[in-house]
Structure 1
Amino acid sequence: MKRLAAAMLLAGISHTLHAEEPFTVQDIQVEGLQRVALGAALNNLPFSVGDSVTDFTLSRSIKSLFAAGHFDDIRVYRDGQTVIFRLKERPTINAIEFDGNKDLKDEQLSESLTAQRIEVGEPLDRTLLRSIENGLTEFYHGVGKYQAEVEVELVYLPRNRVNVKLKFDEGDAASVRQINIVGNEVFDNETLLSVMESQQDMPWWRFMSSDRYQKQTLQGDFESIQSYYLDRGYLRFAIESSQVSVSPDKTSVYVTMNVDEGEQYKVTGVRYAGDLIGQDALIERLTPIQPGELYNGALVTFTEENIARILARFGYANSKVTTIPDIDDENREVELTINVDPGKRIYVRRIDIAGNANTKDEVFRRELRQLEGGWLSNDALELSKQRLQRLPYVEQVEFETRDVPGIEDQVDISFNVREQPSGSFNAGVSYGNFQGLSFQIGVEQANFLGSGNSAGVNLNTNKYQKTISFSYTDPYFTLDGVSLGGQIFYSATDYSSLGSNLEAYKQKRYGIGGTMGIPINETNRLNFGATISVSDLSLLQDYDQLRHFKNVLLDGNDPDGRLKYINYELTAGWVQSTLNRGLFPTAGHYFGLNTRISTPNSDLKFFKTNFEARKYIPLTRNHAWSLMGKVELGYGNGYGSRNGYDYTLPFNENFTAGGYNMRGFEHRIIGPRAVFRIPASIPGLPDPIAGGNSPLPGDPLTDRYSVSQRSIGGNAMAVATLELITPTPFLGEDNRNSVRTSVFVDAGNVWDTEFDFDRYAGLTQQRQFQREPTLVDYSDPTLIRVSTGVSVQWISPMGPLTFSLAKIVKKYEGDLQENFSFNIGTTF
């Protein structure tokens, strides 16, 4: 046996020595190539013709070819001094298909496969297919679908091609049948379960809730419970273990967690360590943690974030703030040490603006509050973003901070701006019994030639009115943001052809005005203006509310003459805006107060005040759902007197409602009607020349009156809107800033504080037409109208378009309904 073993050992050594004997390669032959070029294959070999190789070198060549990723099978042979490689190429992926996937979108799957180099045109590596199946199955298990199966199917095609098809059988998600919490004594199960997002065994009628099991959701619930205890002083609280059991049929899971509540701890003091950059007093004043109070984890986190924000305001953008608790378990007390490491102050080297295809770079740069060369301030960056988004020609703004290579304390900032149509092509066509065929056309450019200046030409014409105006405003007439603008306007109104018993008159009005705005701070602005206007009235119908207006203008020598007057008007206004966007805001508020008054040397002396307030409250973190509340108030009146008559608000300055500000009601239908007094008369004496009898005035107590169908407006107005802004169905995230859908409720009224209802007590109303409304007290502000509906607004290339479908909830006699309305150039 010993001799035999020795003989075998010598034979093995002899064979090894023979196999390792080198030989010189005279030729290399490669067989089986189809797609891969011969040169590419030879480049992966560790030897070439003329080299001396061994069997070990040949084995290394197999590994090198496999590493290239082009081949499924590699065999090497030696024929004398010739080395022969027989290769089988990997098939090329011709197409990738997905079937049955719902939780995972095709785009997500494609991105995941591309990251693993499984894409059309690439060779297929079969070794990755099993890991893909396992990875996708694990994903479905993580979202509670334990019955899910994923199978990769290969369909081989001619010319060594293959179609890869991923077939999904997702199955139903497992529901959380029961959640057991063990070890809790301070808070009962019901309290702790209310903190969790995961719900257990939901009854069928709670269809808005879900008891679907998801691994990530459960992990978040564990953190929520821990935060719940930490926020109430239980500093030593811990979840000692957790188990998730799946039912045999894989349709239900049972969750068990074991907790150790511990005891409550009180804070004995707060100390600061590190570098507070000289802001010790500010940081201490803004720290909400007080000695003697229970430990509160949320307050500790808030304090750390607050200190980091303060440091970032002064250029320390990479600060680290940590809280170290010194726990006294015996007395159940804790002392907190807040360690502050501000790091290096960061400066801004360069600010780039991208995406502005139409707007000049300087228009955006003048809105920036973060300056090049200054230290980096998060507050200044956010304010800069907000100011850019408030521009009416900007849809969205994002910024990115990039480190400067090789320099630790400098960064570059890029603002990426997405512009939206800055022009507004105002056009509309409508028809109504009152106004007939009506259309308007105009062009307003909020970003004229990319300069940031606004310019506009507006033309509005219908059956009874024609107006035209030209306006121009430079919002940065000076470098510090003082704006300057001007307007020229002309209008011609003819109500004289609209039939009897309506507030008929003809008017021509033209004028010129200028405005100036002065910024007070980032959110407040004062506006001032002056206007000269000339009005020429004729054929003014004599309804009762006009008696004061006419008597202060009439020429006693020509009572039937034209009424022409010149007004010199001054305006003053205040605007405060914290809105996050110029169009379609979702957060912040807007307050606007404006007063216009004619000067004492004007022919008419009056004032008119408007106030508007809007508040947007985001209901979700991404602002897809928001609540908007809006209030519009207006009041105007005359001051002084002439010829024994007090000045009143001119009738053509009256507030109106219905249409755009009270959707669901017909345009200008809400508010006081014109009252036409019909004097009583008695037969007179016979006329010996003309014949007949000329009537004589009768007893005023027997006068009659009639009421117009449409409103003439009033000197006071109040309109309120409550609007729920919702995601627009069938539209993606990219269109959220250009299309808005909302559900609204409008309520309001227009009234006349000077109307004397008692003046018509005892008189008889004589109806001139069938739909004439009954006279009511037009000085009553409580005659509130209400409507509700749905609105869709779209910032189109022509400008903002608003479509509203509304229904009247509360109305009064004579109010006319307009279920569908369409406006151009109006947004909320």
Structure 2
Amino acid sequence: MLLASASSSVLAEESFTVQDIQVEGLQRVALGAALNNLPFNVGDTVTEYSLSRSIRTLYSAGHFDDIKVFRDGNTVIYRLRERPTINSIVFDGNKDIKEEQLKDSLAGNRVEVGEPLDKTILKSIENGLTEFYHGVGKYQAKVEIEVTYLPRNRVNLKIKFEEGDAASIRQINIVGNKLFSDEELLRDIESKQDLPWWRFLSSDRYQKQTLQGDIEKITSYYLDRGYLRFNIDSSQVSVSPDKESVYVTLNVTEGEQYKINGVKFVGDLIGQDEFISRIVPLKNGDLYNGALVTYTEETIAKLLARFGYANSKVRTIPQINDDTKEVELTISVDPGKRVYVRRISMSGNANTQDEVLRRELRQMEGAWLSNDALELSKQRIQRLPYVESIEFQTTPVAGVDDLVDVNFTVKEQPSGSFNAGISYGNYMGLSFQIGVQQESFLGSGNSAGISLSTNKYQKSVSLTYTDPYFTLDGVSLGGQVFYSDIDYSSASSNLEAYNQRRYGFGANIGYPINEYNRLNFGANYVVNKINSINEYDQLRHFRAVLLDAQNPDGGYNFTNYELTAGWVRSTLNRGLFPTAGHYLGASIKVTTPNSDLTFFKTAFEGRNYIPLSDDHSWSFLTKLELGYGNGYGNKNGYDYTLPFTENYYAGGQNLRGFESRIIGPRAIFRYAQQVPGLPELGSGGGSFPADPDSDNYSVSQRSIGGNAMAVLTMELITPTPFLSDEYRNSVRTSLFVDAGNVWDTEFDIDRYAGLTQRFTGQNQPALADYSDPSLIRATAGVSLQWISPMGPLTFSLAKIIKKYEGDLQENFSFNIGTTF
């Protein structure tokens, strides 16, 4: 009883009722916020233990550096020192770590402007950054955080970096390997050792993550060759005393080779058992191959994903028999639930309407989720010329395990092009043309354009409009109206002189065959009026069927009704600047029999892009352009030929390094020898043309084109130097070789055999066989293309490899509105 009475007396002395709470030292933190963190209120009975607990509670709020508590009778007094507020954070000397990464990392530790500073974590931040530098081989790096105190309890933080030089890998030793040499195992790894000075493009810098990846490569090297028990027992990284060199040692156990002794499946194969069995490359008796095992798992998972089983789990369980050195593989397949798409959303398309993008989708809302359909949808949208890139992300619907939402994030690029061309050559001088084309007019996905062209020899205007989805199933409809007035008498045209006025209108319609193939058909009404033409010899058929004998000075006027048909196949991964896939296009234009001129004209274009690197920064392009045209039928005993206004030309954009349209046949002017008249007919007697066999001729410097063309381009697409990856899809650098020719299959050089060239010398090329397709021209150079707000800009610098007399060079050219 006495002990119990004494205990009650002690407890009574330790506890008391709080009559008031006072807080001192608050500057930034509100009084109410501080009191809310206390575990008691006025009127509560507290003990010394309650007061100590209150200190811990206040510290946990993260606002205070120092807390003291006092008791004055029944009044509790807190004296607080607030943590200073971070006023600014400055980084000095950091090169390997970008400021954005540093800020994100610090924000994760609540070290950012406006937040209270917890000085206890500064040391751990310094150590963490130092460990990062050690991981990338910079063992001399130092990180120090400098704190500067300011009035009103604020601080500035300055994080100072001394990165130093990265340690290089002096040597990589592999201990325990007998089957494969060090050279074989180290040949394909990224970590390089002790490189000589002339391999300055490679790096022997040590990086921890790179080494971990290389260890996995060495492991895969053995597993892919059947060494199922291979193991890297240990790895040691030793740093030299000066911290400039690193020595790596790997201790390995190779084991023996194992063969496959059976492959079986367990689980649910969704009724595709037979098909899956056929596509599995693992066969009895073959050596175990880790790469093939991984490929098999991925292939089965992709197949299941095609049927909506997006969360399938496929894993291979090996049962190893060390006595027979065989392994039985059991492939476990768990498809999980079939996943359906609840909603598809678009983001990032500020200029393009949702409908324009959605009509390219092959993954439908309400249907099961298919990776193939998603990838095809992505590819179709990315082919649009006004889309730079697109990515998609699937998000599970909360509370449901078989529904997902899909969001496509679009990055747009300028959909309009300011089509212009500026070039300068030794002979051609300055040429300029201008036009405006909008590939997605007002965000509708419809193509509209007006083209204006003005230069020394041409004035033209054309209006075009195309709706690629005139019907819901992808039938396109378009039309055009055009007018041009061209004077080729200007030297800058590089063509033989004539004036042409041309106008008309047309319509076209397109039909999709499947995802990659499309047919196009069109009809045009075209009126041509040609005058002031230099009557060169190759026009004799054209002259015979068109010229009015009663009005030889009236020019050539003809009206044609044209029908067109074309086929296009495209698997390109992007609309502009593709890096993979191919494009094939073939077309034919033919005039109807009731036209003034009857002819046909064909064209073919093929482009193939082969990616040379995983990220497609390196790619190889081959491009082939072919063309052929001719007349059909006859009039007055003369066969129709391809009108010279429809001829093919080369030089400029399709054969860089040469003047525009300079490649191909030249005009030949034939002159009759004059025989003096008889004296009795008067003074001088006049003159008469002699026998045609005594004619002479001259060859023009200007081209008249030809009815056949072939141009081949090979282009190595490379990363653009000194340009960040952010602009990789809008700027392209390439090294190219162009080769080709334009010729005339109707040209007969024997017609001029035995005749004398009237003028010879530097200003007139010699006569060549213009029907010979082997007169190939070739150039090589470098090209830079940029999708600018005005449209695609192309800069080319070329050097001629092969040319013929009369060809004019154009080493540098600049064009707007044309890309490959």
TM-score bin (small chain)? over 0.9
Instruction: Please state if 1:791 is matched with 2:779.
Output: no
- CA distances 1:180-203 after superposition (whole Å, capped 9, x unpaired): 111111111110111322111111
Q: Distance in 2 between matches of 1:499 and 1:258?
A: 73
Q: Secondary structure at the match of 1:550?
A: helix
Q: CA deviation at 1:437?
A: 6.6
Q: Could you tell me which of 677, 684, 689 is aligned with 1:692? A: 684
Give 2:225's aligned amino acid: R
Q: Secondary structure at the match of 2:221?
A: helix
Match of residue 758 from structure 1: 750
Q: CA deviation at 1:134?
A: 1.0
- CA distances 1:772-810 after superposition (whole Å, capped 9, x unpaired): 222222222222222233322222333222222333333
Match of residue 338 from structure 2: 345
Give 1:820's aligned amino acid: F
Q: Distance in 2 between matches of 1:317 and 1:502?
A: 62
Q: Could you tell me which of 795, 799, 804 is aligned with 1:803? A: 795
Would you say the 8 A contact 1:531–1:568 is kept in 2? yes
Write the mapping of 1:146-225 to structure 2, written as runs, cut at 5 A. Answer: 146-225=139-218
Q: CA deviation at 1:311?
A: 0.5
Would you say the 8 A contact 2:67–2:81 is kept in 1? yes
Q: Distance in 2 between matches of 1:90 and 1:293?
A: 68
Q: Distance in 1 between matches of 2:466 and 2:188?
A: 54
Instruction: Please state if 1:275 is matched with 2:268.
Output: yes
Q: Secondary structure at the match of 2:546?
A: coil
Q: Distance in 1 between matches of 2:430 and 2:194?
A: 62
Percent identity of paired positions between Structure 1 and Structure 2: 73
Instruction: Please state if 1:482 is matched with 2:475.
Output: yes
Q: Distance in 1 between matches of 2:792 and 2:9?
A: 86
Moved more, 362-371 or 305-314: 362-371
Q: Could you tell me which of 709, 719, 722 is aligned with 1:727? A: 719
Instruction: Please state if 1:44 is matched with 2:48.
Output: no
Q: CA deviation at 1:769?
A: 8.2
Q: Secondary structure at the match of 2:667?
A: strand
Q: Distance in 2 between matches of 1:347 and 1:774?
A: 73
Q: Distance in 2 between matches of 1:16 and 1:582?
A: 89
Q: CA deviation at 1:493?
A: 2.3
Match of residue 485 from structure 2: 492
Q: Distance in 2 between matches of 1:471 and 1:113?
A: 55
Instruction: Please state if 1:393 is matched with 2:386.
Output: yes
Match of residue 711 from structure 1: 703
Q: CA deviation at 1:770?
A: 5.0
Give 1:776's aligned amino acid: A
The number of residues matched between the two structures is 816
Match of residue 456 from structure 1: 449
Give 2:321's aligned amino acid: D
Give 2:288's aligned amino acid: Y
Instruction: Please state if 1:84 is matched with 2:68.
Output: no
Give 2:443's aligned amino acid: G
Relative to the length of structure 2, the TM-score reads 0.95
Q: Could you tell me which of 9, 13, 24 is aligned with 1:31? A: 24
Q: Distance in 1 between matches of 2:229 and 2:493?
A: 86
Q: Could you tell me which of 289, 309, 315 is aligned with 1:322? A: 315
Q: Distance in 2 between matches of 1:29 and 1:56?
A: 19
Moved more, 88-97 or 357-366: 357-366
Q: CA deviation at 1:502?
A: 6.8
Would you say the 8 A contact 1:501–1:707 is kept in 2? no
Would you say the 8 A contact 1:577–1:588 is kept in 2? yes
Q: CA deviation at 1:771?
A: 2.5
Give 1:800's aligned amino acid: P
Q: Distance in 2 between matches of 1:234 and 1:785?
A: 56
Q: Distance in 1 between matches of 2:12 and 2:781?
A: 90
Q: CA deviation at 1:734?
A: 2.9
Write the mapping of 1:342-741 to structure 2, written as runs, cut at 5 A. Answer: 342-428=335-421, 438-496=431-489, 503-686=496-679, 691-741=683-733
- CA distances 1:38-81 after superposition (whole Å, capped 9, x unpaired): 22222211122222211111111111111111111111122222
Give 1:530's aligned amino acid: A
Q: CA deviation at 1:413?
A: 1.1
Give 1:608's aligned amino acid: K
Would you say the 8 A contact 2:428–2:493 is kept in 1? no
Match of residue 741 from structure 2: 749
Q: Distance in 2 between matches of 1:344 and 1:206?
A: 53
Give 2:746's aligned amino acid: E
Q: Distance in 1 between matches of 2:493 and 2:383?
A: 48
Q: CA deviation at 1:434?
A: 6.8
Match of residue 222 from structure 2: 229
Instruction: Please state if 1:301 is matched with 2:294.
Output: yes
Give 1:715's aligned amino acid: N
Q: Secondary structure at the match of 1:767?
A: coil
Relative to the length of structure 1, the TM-score reads 0.94
Q: Distance in 2 between matches of 1:714 and 1:350?
A: 56
Q: CA deviation at 1:495?
A: 2.9
The Cα RMSD (Å) is 2.4
Q: Distance in 2 between matches of 1:361 and 1:301?
A: 39
Write the mapping of 1:74-153 to structure 2, written as runs, cut at 5 A. Answer: 74-153=67-146
Moved more, 457-466 or 86-95: 457-466
Moved more, 638-647 or 495-504: 495-504
Q: CA deviation at 1:403?
A: 1.0
Would you say the 8 A contact 1:788–1:807 is kept in 2? yes
- CA distances 1:690-731 after superposition (whole Å, capped 9, x unpaired): x53422222434322212112111111111222222333444
Q: Distance in 2 between matches of 1:263 and 1:187?
A: 13
Q: CA deviation at 1:429?
A: 5.6
Moved more, 553-562 or 417-426: 553-562
Give 1:766's aligned amino acid: R
- CA distances 1:439-497 after superposition (whole Å, capped 9, x unpaired): 43333222223222212222222232222222221111221111111222222223357
Q: Distance in 2 between matches of 1:561 and 1:460?
A: 27
Q: Which runs of 5+ in 2 are unaligned?
A: none
Q: Distance in 2 between matches of 1:502 and 1:523?
A: 39
Q: Distance in 1 between matches of 2:488 and 2:159?
A: 72
Give 1:257's aligned amino acid: L
Q: Distance in 1 between matches of 2:63 and 2:195?
A: 53
Call closer, same or farther: CA 1:20–1:385 in 2, change over 3 Å.
farther
Match of residue 6 from structure 1: none
- CA distances 1:409-458 after superposition (whole Å, capped 9, x unpaired): 11111112222222223345667787777543333222223222212222
Q: Distance in 1 between matches of 2:314 and 2:742?
A: 57
Q: Which runs of 5+ in 1 are unaligned?
A: 1-9
Call closer, same or farther: CA 1:678–1:265 in 2, change over 3 Å.
same
Q: CA deviation at 1:664?
A: 2.1
Q: Distance in 2 between matches of 1:562 and 1:319?
A: 75
- CA distances 1:63-101 after superposition (whole Å, capped 9, x unpaired): 111111111111112222222222111111111111121
- CA distances 1:663-687 after superposition (whole Å, capped 9, x unpaired): 2221111111111112222222358
Would you say the 8 A contact 2:536–2:670 is kept in 1? yes
Call closer, same or farther: CA 1:493–1:662 in 2, change over 3 Å.
same
Would you say the 8 A contact 2:542–2:643 is kept in 1? yes
Q: Secondary structure at the match of 2:187?
A: helix
| Higher RCO (Cα < 8 Å, 6 or more apart) | 2
Q: Distance in 2 between matches of 1:502 and 1:615?
A: 32
Moved more, 220-229 or 447-456: 447-456
Instruction: Please state if 1:336 is matched with 2:332.
Output: no
Would you say the 8 A contact 1:510–1:534 is kept in 2? yes
Q: CA deviation at 1:204?
A: 1.3
Q: CA deviation at 1:407?
A: 1.5
